[in-house]
Amino acid sequence: MNQTDNMKNVSNSKGNNLQADVVIVGTGVGGCFSALNLSEDLSIIMITKSDLESSDSFLAQGGICVLHDDDDYDSYFEDTMRAGHYENRKESVDIMIRGSQDVIHDLIGYGVDFAKEDGKLLYTREGAHSRPRILFHEDITGKEITSKLLAQIKTRKNIQIMEYTTMTDILISQGACAGIEAETSDYKKIYIHADQTIFASGGIGGRYQHSTNFPHLTGDALDISKKHGIRLEHLDYVQIHPTTLYSKKPGRRFLISESVRGEGALLYDKNGNRFVDELLPRDVVTKAIQEQMKKDGTDHVWLSLEKIPKEIILSHFPNIYQHCLEEGYDATKEWIPVVPAQHYFMGGIWVDSDSHTSMPNLYAVGETSCNGVHGKNRLASNSLLESLVFAKRAARKIMSEKQMNKATA
Q: Point out the residues that are catalytic.
A: 282
Provide the residue type at 334 as one letter.
E
Q: Provide the residue count of the chain.
A: 409
Give dist(CA 27, CA 35) in Å, integer: 9
Of 171, 175, 224, nearest in space to 11 by CA: 171
Give dist(CA 104, CA 283) in Å, integer: 28
Asked if residues 346 and 374 have their Cβ atoms less than 8 Å apart, the reply is: yes
Give dist(CA 140, CA 123) in Å, integer: 15
Phi, psi (rounded to 5 degrees) for 185: -65, -20
Asked if residues 342 and 238 have their Cβ atoms less than 8 Å apart, the reply is: yes
* 236 alpha-carbon distance from chain centroid: 17
Pairing mode, strands 189-199 and 176-184: antiparallel
Give dist(CA 212, CA 230) in Å, integer: 28
Q: How far is CA 328 from CA 94, 253, 323, 335, in A?
A: 44, 16, 9, 11
Of 309, 399, 383, nearest in space to 56 by CA: 383
Give dist(CA 405, CA 399) in Å, integer: 10
- If you write DSSP's letter for every residue of 241-270 in order, what string do you get? EEEEE--SSSSPPPB--HHHHHTT-EEE-T
Give dist(CA 57, CA 71) in Å, integer: 30
